[in-house]
Amino acid sequence: MPPPSIPGDAARLAAFNVVSARNPVEFERRMREGTPFPANSRSYKYRLLDPVLNRTRFDRPILSLAIRSTPSIVACHGGSRLPTEVLHEGEDSAFIGFTTVLAGEMAVIEGNLSKRGNADTGLVFRLRHQTRMLTDEESTRTHLSFKVTELESALEHMLDARLGAPLEFETEIDWSHGLAASLKWQLAFLMQEFERPDGVVGNAVALASMTDFLLTLALRAAPNNYSGQLALGPAVALPAYIRRAEEFMRAHCATPLRIAEVAAAAGCSVRTLNAVFQRFRGQVPLAALQAIRLQKVHAELSHGGEGESIGVVARRYGFTNSSRFHQAFQRRFGETALDVIRRRSRL
């Protein structure tokens, strides 16, 4: 039987991989041994907020997690009987998660920024190095995570344009009204399908259709750095300054560029160019140029010849600091440059 802190009963969770334990050390060990999540390149450290209790072995499970995954979605039921902290360490997750708190409260802390979720407020976040998650006693929640690359691909389709900056959601989402309320209901429905061994999750075609719908709804419902642009419609509504600037940057991304040159090609002042990029792209032009250059590197590594190293291709587009390049590449694409090379080799 699953532990009391997980919503549902054994029958509902029959399709899930269930891990539970009576103390944090045992839970971490079982997580490493018994689930495909987290990835080897990331680690999760659990501790009770009351340090006296961390080594106590209770008479029933105090931590529990039930996981079922597909290549593009990870579904989780989570529960904790006592106030708990989870520390994420390692590379950024390739998924963005939507958390619905069923009982108690949960907080996500990144640096000095803390956001809280409860029955009325959901949490949307991507796990990064040193992200902390705090849950209070008798806390239960569901967590549905979608691949960043699939969300960004859906966003590009909706905008009919390449993204100038990585997709970033606001951490808190108000479930009480509008499309956010619809998203909460649809996430709950998808979780029910994950609970069914013979449901949509087992049918690739049906799951793909449902996923496409959910990605579109999530991008519309959850506030993000492209919400303003989505409200305006596709890229044809963008100011001509932006279109001309981006065309110029794509054409000259392998040569050193100054922002004044980009503004001149766009036909406006540097101040105006900065203002329209902030308004419609949510970033400064130099950040857009870096994104274009990263896209070029990704394309060459994916389809180029076998003779050139990652460093040679990166330097062609102005990335002279290897460490910063690899960090930027992984943030942008959710995979490393070496992953791209390996995939190309397999193909």
| pLDDT mean values, one per 10 residues, the chain (347 residues) | 45 84 87 60 85 82 91 92 92 93 94 92 94 93 94 86 86 95 96 89 86 93 90 64 89 91 90 86 89 90 74 91 90 85 72
**Whole-angstrom distance, CA of residue 128 vs CA of residue 174:** 23
pLDDT of residue 34: 63
| pTM for this predicted structure | 0.68
Q: What is the pLDDT of residue 47?
A: 92
CA distance 49 to 30: 20
pLDDT score at 276: 86
Sheet of strand 42-48, all strands in order from the earlier edge strand to the far edge: 42-48, 84-90, 132-135, 106-110, 113-117
Close Cβ partners of 146 (under 8 Å, ≥ 6 residues apart): 72, 73, 95, 96, 97, 98, 211, 214, 215, 218
Which domains, and CATH codes, for the chain?
17-228 (2.60.120.10), 238-346 (1.10.10.60)
Q: What is the pLDDT of residue 141?
A: 95
Rounded Cα distance between 148 and 12, Å, is 28
Is residue 335 within 8 Å of 324, Cβ to Cβ? no
How far apart CA 232 and CA 238 sit, in angstroms, is 8
Q: What is the pLDDT of residue 99?
A: 97
SS3 173: strand
Distance CA(47)–CA(250), nearest Å, equals: 48
Percentage of residues of the chain with pLDDT beyond 70: 91
Bond before 38 cis per omega within 30 degrees? yes
- What are 169's strand-pairing partners? 224
- Whole-number pLDDT of residue 208: 87
